[in-house]
Structure 1
Amino acid sequence: MSTTKAKLRQYYAAISATIPSLCFGLAVTWTSPLASRLQGQDPSTSYEPLERPLTGTELSWVSSLMPLGAILGSVMVGFAMDRFGRKKTLLAFGGIPCVVGWIVILNATSVYMLYTARLLIGVSSGVALLVGPTYIAEFASPSLRGSLCAMFQIMLNLGVMVPYCIGPYTSYFVLAGVSLLFPLAFLATFLFLPETPFYLISKQELEEAAKSLAWFTGEKQSPDLSKQRDIISSCVHEASSVSLVDSFKELFSSRGNRRALMVVSGLMFAFQFCGINAILFNLETVFRGSSKTNKPWLGPSESAIVTGVVQNVSTWVAAALVDKVGRRPLLLVSTALATVGIVGLGVQSFLEENKFSVASDLTWMPVACLMLFVSAFCVGLGPLSWIVMSELFTGGAKSAASLLGGGFSWLLAFVVTLTFSPMEEYLHFYGTYWVYSVCCALGFFFTAVMLPETKCKTLENIHEEL
């Protein structure tokens, strides 16, 4: 009875804590079905509620301000999570800014209101994606921790699907209203959950910690709970013995950690500069740009929906293979196939824009190449870049490494998203794709030369290899 109750409560808490991850995925692809409307390029709709259509540069900023806000959110986590707790930080900085952001979007009349809203949603995303996994890891039973933590990627991909499925067939206001419902649902469900026992014990709030443990385990306080509390207390002592300053010292004083940081930086470069975020932000624009004269095999909206489905399926495949095949082989296959897919997109776009007759026989190519690219990314580069980062560093260096690795990734996401439209204008779609393909190919060779295999190895063995 208590076991069943504990599982239900922990799954409920995990689902609630991962709603912000869904909100992040939704925000990533929100601009995709709206880009042509906001620029006044869709003859069937107007650019309302804005006072004027957006320029290409303004649309780039609307897309890229979200990852820029996420950098700010990541910095806020360092100051707030240990001072105010996981729950309060997630509510105050992960939920409320997202709600305010979508309310601003609902009432937006100018591009500056959109800028403000996207920055707020970015702050929320940066906080949620760092604090949420911490919250889950600190309450989850060992037997459930893997499945509970896996919900983040699953929920993110579900969020990606929402604008693809709803956006092309609804108004600006309906899509914004539906988007607002998710952070409101997070606040309503998460507000009544307890703080994690780990945090409460670290603050010597033992009575509250006992209540929190009892809630998550579905039992009344007992000797077993007291024993579990002692275990958590020892973990807190061990974790708190290394400050952030000491973590940075350990990161840069150890040769293995320095090499690990170089490996992670290279993976994050390939992760972002393969162009995944820029393409997802502008997915319908990508399909329209690839088919200016010939009727495509699938329309832009239908292609975007298929892309979202492929993302979800590929993520499940990655989860099934990562501990059987290994990180290194999957990353090599991922970067190789992603390179082929993005090169193919460039070839089709080049033939299309230069009016080669063969282009009329290749209307299937944009969909096929993008499906190959997205599935390859989701099987390897997407999830495994973060897994590798968690495995390469020594325990004392992990907090500093996570801060630097995560911040570097968000900064690259900002640069890639901001430069997509200017690159498309000056290099055309095919030139932009080929730039991304070169970066992806560099990621393949970097992985082949620099990345050690970490499957079935202890953290000590991995660090010794570095």
Structure 2
Amino acid sequence: MVLEEKEEALIDQNGGSAQTFGAVNRTRSSWKLYLCALTVDLLLVTFGTTVAWPSAIIPKLTSNDTDVNPLKAPITTLQVSIIVSTPCFAIIFSSCVAGKLVDILGRRRMLQCCSVFLILTMTIIAFSKHVYFYYACQFVNGCILSAVLVTVPVYNNEIATEKDRSWLGCVVSLGLPIGVLISYILGAVITSFELFTLTSVIPSLLHLVLSYFIVETPMYLASKQRKREALIVLKKLRTYKNDKDVYKEYEYIEDISTNHFGKKTNIFHIFTSRTSRKSLFICIIVTFTQQISGISIILSFMVPIFTEAGAALSPNEISILTGSIQLLVVILVSLIVNKFGKRPLLLFSSFFCSISMLGIGLYFLLKSIELPVYLQLRWLPVVCVITFIISYGLGLGSIPLGYIGELFKQDLRTTGMGVAMLFGGVLVFVLDFGFPLLAEAYGIHVCMFLYGFATFSGFILLLLFLPETRGESLKSIQRIIESKTIQLKVCGKS
């Protein structure tokens, strides 16, 4: 009996549930797996600090105070747009290339390179005295961060057992809110532009040191016919009942990797099969809803927005409060995702994110037309932002990164994630570049209404097309997507 038939027999023996070899044989993860996952997730912490970095530095760069502004002269609204949106512009060009480099260099080495370049670029920014250096380094940062977003979920998916994959996908999402919170806190207490910028890459420095103690993924090693190394890695990542189990799991991994890694693929292969086209369509819906919610605007322009709002709390207090809430919510999701499933959480999240954005838009509309009632509603933007952060963290902020990595076949996984990042990069670039200009020309309320209504349209699309992947093996997820009765599977219990 071939390996695939063995897997099907094991599935049948367990009541038809789509479990993989490791889950059926009660293979447990060792502490080394969690060390590896947390180490690579440190790069996502740096991603969070760099995303929130503009929120603290924009007031400095637009200041006339030469003791605060490192450029000695305030920058224009257009220059603010360029600084904030350049990383997203870079993702447009680098995401698909990053997917290929991950397969060439390996997951571990790719992440090490990302650490080195992030440390280098942020150091240059810290001591530069000309805005053009900011542009160049932000472009490089965008290229690096696209590689991080592609590589980290792939790494965690390839080292995890089926039992751990769902919550590890949520743990991946902890990096962003941790980094954002760190940036908000440091931005409130550190007045030095140079010191604040340098502290934002401390997580990357920690990753670079710890990366020498983690392993390459067994699936990548199997794809390169490095059997001995793959077996050693599996023994480090798992706790097996007996020595035979490690060889059986290796055979399972080798079957997947040799069938898929050996194929030469490019971006056009995603469109050659019905299943991969469906996977890409679902990825685009999820990415669209996540980014159009306006999270990048909230994170990047938190301080300027609430300075303009004249909210009851100071902008820095609101930033720290929302950052703390976002972190706590993502931790909560990692604990409950296996119970509630990914689909319900994403639907709940997208719906209430849209309502929250519309509430913020309403406040700024009342303020723009100078209705006296807005003076009694200064609490509204604070409540709406907190509601937005909670709603976003419950689904859109914690699930998509790991979820997208599950949808594609092994040979198209990094390429598919690269295309998803490409789409997301285009969308975030348009939002980040356009927000300061659109808000200046038409008012913040117009932006918030656009994000609110667009997010609601994303909620409708998710409701119609999003499949549940909780508890499913990577192979069974492909069968769900391929099935013509996907909607019945989606709506049923998993």
Short-chain TM bin: 0.7 to 0.9
Match of 1:283? 302
Which runs of structure 2 are paired with 1:83-102 in the superposition (5 Å)? 83-92=104-113, 94-102=114-122
Residue 13 of structure 1 aligns with an amino acid whose one-letter code is C
Supply the distance in 2 between the matched residues of 1:324 and 1:87 (Cα, whole angstroms).
Answer: 32
SS in 2 for 1:382: coil
Greater CA drift, 221-230 or 261-270? 221-230
Deviation at 1:280? 0.8
Deviation at 1:298? 0.8
Aligned-residue sequence identity (percent) comes to 26
Structure 1 residue 176 and structure 2 residue 209: aligned?
A: no
**Preserved contact between residue 100 and residue 415 of structure 2 (Cα < 8 Å):** no
CA separation of 1:323 and 1:230: change in aligned 2, threshold 3 A: closer
Unpaired runs of at least 5, structure 2: 1-27, 487-494
Which runs of structure 2 are paired with 1:196-215 in the superposition (5 Å)? 196-215=217-236
Supply the distance in 1 between the matched residues of 2:119 and 2:460 (Cα, whole angstroms).
Answer: 42
Deviation at 1:218? 8.3
CA RMSD, Structure 1 to Structure 2 (Å)? 2.9
Deviation at 1:223? 5.3
Which runs of structure 2 are paired with 1:412-423 in the superposition (5 Å)? 412-423=427-438
- Taking structure 2 as the reference length, the TM-score comes to 0.83
Unpaired runs of at least 5, structure 1: none
Match of 2:491? none
Match of 1:33? 56
SS in 2 for 1:104: helix
CA separation of 1:74 and 1:191: change in aligned 2, threshold 3 A: farther
Match of 2:359? 344
Match of 1:433? 448
> Please, which of 155, 160, 163 is the counterpart of residue 135 of structure 1?
155
> Please, which of 60, 66, 80 is the counterpart of residue 81 of structure 2?
60
Residue 204 of structure 1 aligns with an amino acid whose one-letter code is Q
Deviation at 1:403? 2.7
Structure 1 residue 152 and structure 2 residue 175: aligned?
A: no
SS in 2 for 1:381: coil
CA separation of 1:20 and 1:70: change in aligned 2, threshold 3 A: farther
Supply the distance in 2 between the matched residues of 1:54 and 1:70 (Cα, whole angstroms).
Answer: 24
CA separation of 1:423 and 1:133: change in aligned 2, threshold 3 A: same
1:406-435 C-alpha deviation (Å, 9 max, x unpaired)? 221122111111111111111111111111
How many residues are paired up?
453
Deviation at 1:202? 2.0
Greater CA drift, 393-402 or 178-187? 393-402
Which runs of structure 2 are paired with 1:100-249 in the superposition (5 Å)? 100-141=120-161, 143-171=163-191, 172-217=193-238, 224-245=245-266, 248-249=268-269
Deviation at 1:242? 4.2
Structure 1 residue 18 and structure 2 residue 49: aligned?
A: no
Greater CA drift, 157-166 or 122-131? 122-131
Deviation at 1:46? 4.0
Which runs of structure 2 are paired with 1:65-76 in the superposition (5 Å)? 65-76=86-97
Match of 2:457? 442
1:355-402 C-alpha deviation (Å, 9 max, x unpaired)? 221121111111101111222222233334445545555666545432
Supply the distance in 1 between the matched residues of 2:229 and 2:259 (Cα, whole angstroms).
Answer: 21
Supply the distance in 2 between the matched residues of 1:279 and 1:326 (Cα, whole angstroms).
Answer: 27
Match of 2:370? 355
Supply the distance in 2 between the matched residues of 1:312 and 1:279 (Cα, whole angstroms).
Answer: 15
Supply the distance in 2 between the matched residues of 1:396 and 1:184 (Cα, whole angstroms).
Answer: 31
**Preserved contact between residue 297 and residue 431 of structure 2 (Cα < 8 Å):** yes
Residue 282 of structure 1 aligns with an amino acid whose one-letter code is F
Supply the distance in 1 between the matched residues of 2:297 and 2:162 (Cα, whole angstroms).
Answer: 37
CA separation of 1:186 and 1:394: change in aligned 2, threshold 3 A: closer
Supply the distance in 2 between the matched residues of 1:133 and 1:384 (Cα, whole angstroms).
Answer: 11
Which runs of structure 2 are paired with 1:315-464 in the superposition (5 Å)? 315-386=330-401, 389-390=404-405, 398-452=413-467, 458-459=476-477, 460-464=479-483
Residue 106 of structure 1 aligns with an amino acid whose one-letter code is A
**Preserved contact between residue 366 and residue 373 of structure 2 (Cα < 8 Å):** yes
Greater CA drift, 260-269 or 357-366? 260-269
- Taking structure 1 as the reference length, the TM-score comes to 0.87
Supply the distance in 2 between the matched residues of 1:89 and 1:451 (Cα, whole angstroms).
Answer: 31
**Preserved contact between residue 349 and residue 394 of structure 2 (Cα < 8 Å):** yes
**Preserved contact between residue 97 and residue 418 of structure 2 (Cα < 8 Å):** no
Residue 378 of structure 2 aligns with an amino acid whose one-letter code is T
Residue 123 of structure 2 aligns with an amino acid whose one-letter code is I
**Preserved contact between residue 393 and residue 463 of structure 1 (Cα < 8 Å):** no
Greater CA drift, 269-278 or 231-240? 231-240
CA separation of 1:264 and 1:138: change in aligned 2, threshold 3 A: closer
Deviation at 1:255? 4.2
Deviation at 1:235? 2.6
